[in-house]
Amino acid sequence: MGRRKVGFFERIGYIIEYIFVVPLAKLISLIPFVWIKGFARFLGWIFFHVNTRDKKWAYMNLGIIFKDNPLPKEEQDRIVRQLYRNIVRFGIEYLKLGRITAKNYKKYARYENYEAVENTAAAGKGGIVITLHLGNWEYMGSVSAKLGLNLAVVINRQFNPYTDLWLKNLRVKKGKIKCFYNEINETMGLAKHLRGGGTIALVADQTYYFKPIFVPFFGMPSATADGPAKLHLRFGSPIIMGFCYRDTDDRYVFKFEDPKTFPSTGNPDQDAADIMTYINSRYEEYIRKYPEQWFSLLHPRWEKTTPEEFENIDFDPF
């Protein structure tokens, strides 16, 4: 993907969207932290009742995740209602990214085994942190960068070029995170970052539409990106699984597992499949523990499960 051409009237529409969205977002960012929970409860209740299109995926996904021990309808409803609250809460917190600093972050989060990331970075081989859309992964990256980690992330370009630039600048200026687009022309910069001993953070828990590989995820064949595996095999940078979830004290936990490396067997396709299968298996544990904090519960993760279903997909709208 890359920068696409935008027609005159389409551009006018994007400008109008930008003029509306950005001031509204800045206004919302003024909400005090102590009010966010109540605000999220109110808006989450509304979204739960009106967003029927995406809500159906949440119930279908819960059926797959807990197929061996099905949840009663009341428990499913509780999880989905809480999911909407958490999404609203994340959205407001994200807009306040610049308010979280290296000095005050302990009010909102705590680390577990952060030395796994620090030691890997100190070794100079770069590190690949694999996380997922759980809890507040943006805070986990931003706080780590503000503590001195040379961190970069891979992002997808938005259709609206103006809101895309605004969101990217929010991560870069307020979050202190380097950003690379998920595009061919950004590959060199990403490789240079790793070769220079930098750390990159990737998410791979959603359906990947551009030449995916199919590996198990909750027992289902799942269209999965093999980029994390290819980066690991090419550069030898250790993989560190990182998870963010909100704990009972209402603070986030930034939890990291010890670094892991996978030997090359000479069969790159099988090696990539083995690595991504491992990553999915680690995802499964935390998703089962915190389904109401996994935002991809609203994503049609298992709508398409065979290679044939991806043959005619327009994977590059840009």
pLDDT at 6 (0 to 100):
78
Q: Report the 3 state secondary structure along 187-214.
A: HHHHHHHHHCCCEEEEECCCCCCCCCEE
pLDDT at 4 (0 to 100):
63
CB-count exposure of residue 12 (10 Å: 0-12, 13-18, 19+): exposed
pLDDT in tens, the chain (318 residues): 456 677 888 999 999 999 999 999 999 999 999 999 999 999 999 999 999 889 999 999 999 999 999 999 999 999 999 999 999 999 999 999 999 999 999 999 999 999 999 999 999 888 999 999 999 999 999 999 999 999 999 999 999 999 999 999 999 999 999 999 988 889 899 999 999 999 999 999 999 988 899 999 999 999 999 999 999 999 999 999 999 999 999 999 999 999 999 999 999 999 999 999 999 999 999 999 999 999 999 999 999 999 998 887 655 443
pLDDT at 5 (0 to 100):
73
What is the C-alpha separation between 130 and 253, in angstroms, rounded?
16
What is the C-alpha separation between 58 and 101, in angstroms, rounded?
34
Look at residues 89, 95, 88 and name the one whose alpha carbon lies nearest to residue 28: 95
- Which whole-number Å values give the CA distances from 117 to 12, 107, 166, 245, 258, in the listed order? 44, 21, 29, 18, 8
122, 259 Cβ separation under 8 angstroms:
no
Q: At residue 212, what is the residue type?
A: P
Residue pLDDT, tens place only, 290-311: 999 999 999 999 999 999 988 8
Residue pLDDT, tens place only, 119-142: 999 998 889 999 999 999 999 999
- Which whole-number Å values give the CA distances from 179 to 88, 133, 170, 315, in the listed order? 24, 17, 11, 22
The interaxial angle of helices 52-65 and 73-95, nearest 10 deg, is: 120
241, 140 Cβ separation under 8 angstroms:
no
pLDDT at 317 (0 to 100):
43
Strands (E), the chain: 109-112, 127-131, 151-155, 178-181, 199-203, 213-217, 220-224, 239-246, 252-256
Relative to beta strand 109-112, strand 127-131 is unpaired
What is the C-alpha separation between 185 and 28, in angstroms, rounded?
35
Report yes or no on whether pTM surpasses 0.85.
yes
